[in-house]
Amino acid sequence: MIKETGLTDFDFAYAAVLKRILEAKAEFNKRTGKKTRSVPGIFFKFSSIPILSLRDIKPLWTCAEVVWFMSGGDNPEFMRHFGFRNWDPFVDKNGLVRAATGFRWRKMHQVDQLMEGLHKLRQDKTNRQAVLMSWEPWEDSKPGPNVPCLVVWHMHIIDGQLHMAVLQRSGDMYFGIPHDILGAWIILELCAAAVQAVPGTLSYLISNAHLYNDQWDAAQEMIAREEACEVKANYPIRLGLTIEETTRSMNEDKALVIELHQKLLEFYHPFPAIQGPSLVK
């Protein structure tokens, strides 16, 4: 155990969900060919950075994906630049990822949903119609290499605070969820800066939260770490992002990825990584 390691509110909430999933009945998942334990309707709500310390999640990739999303990217070469190739199996014949969240927000539909949502909130702080949709019924009803997991995002302002709600249809609790939730928080901070609001709460609903059979032992290891660690992490509440950083993220600024990562590394002291599980594609 790393000396400085302490647990965040997210660590405790995350470990509780792992326990629930491991108690669920194992079923065979047809798409992946793996035994899977799943639970419905997992809900998280945070007002501070939700970063997982129960294992080292390598947040560089989270930071890269945030910038890729904010810029509307669909070319995974941006992610490859940072050593992340998990989008590669989902490219189309042109080498692009049509299911990428940012592409769906900014380029696939007839409107740039992200810019339109931020504009609404700048014009009217009481607006409750800033909704970003990643799901495209016409596109996603067809057989294909991938469909979005993060399907709906909603932003609104109350008392000067920007709040965000996210609906995720399917969540791999071991690999995907720690990155997805941290990424959603960074996006919340970037959007708050864009509308001159303070980051508020992140409400996060996972419709189907699951673990695959090769992740069960690793989940047990994280639960054991949570039960044995009595130290509370002293992490900052927010990253303190600015409108300049929001603009740079929308311009797919590679240097910003490194800067965001450095901000996280200033306080991130996780337990060691866990070997064994492999990413399901």
Instruction: Count up the domains in the chain and report the number.
Output: 1
Q: Is residue 194 part of a domain?
A: yes
Residue 238: which CATH number? 3.30.572.10
Using one digit for the tens of pLDDT, what is the confidence trace for 125-136? 999 999 999 999
Secondary structure of the chain in the HEC alphabet?
CCCCCCECHHHHHHHHHHHHHHCCCEEEECCCCEEEEEEEEEEEEECCCCCCCCCCCCCHHHHHHHHHHHCCCCCCHHHHCCCCCCCHHHCCCCCCCCCCHHHHHHHHCCCCHHHHHHHHHHHCCCCCCEEEECCCHHHHCCCCCCCCCEEEEEEEEECCEEEEEEEEEEEECCCHHHHHHHHHHHHHHHHHHHCCCEEEEEEEEEEEEEEEHHHHHHHHHHHHHHHHCCCECCCCCCCCCCHHHHHHHHCCCHHHHHHHHHHHHCCCCCCCCCCCCCCCC
Q: Does the pLDDT value for residue 239 go beyond 50?
A: yes
- pTM for this model (two decimals): 0.95
Q: Is residue 274 part of a domain?
A: no
Model confidence at 4, pLDDT cuts 50, 70, 90, reads low
Q: Is residue 81 part of a domain?
A: yes
Q: Does the pLDDT value for residue 39 go beyond 60?
A: yes
The percentage of residues in the chain with a pLDDT greater than 70, rounded to a whole number, is 98
Q: Is residue 196 part of a domain?
A: yes
Structural domain span for residue 213: 9-265
Q: Is residue 236 part of a domain?
A: yes
Q: Is residue 4 part of a domain?
A: no
Using one digit for the tens of pLDDT, what is the confidence trace for 160-187? 999 999 999 999 999 999 999 999 999 9
Q: Is residue 273 part of a domain?
A: no
Q: Is residue 71 part of a domain?
A: yes
Using one digit for the tens of pLDDT, what is the confidence trace for 189-228? 999 999 999 999 999 999 999 999 999 999 999 999 999 9
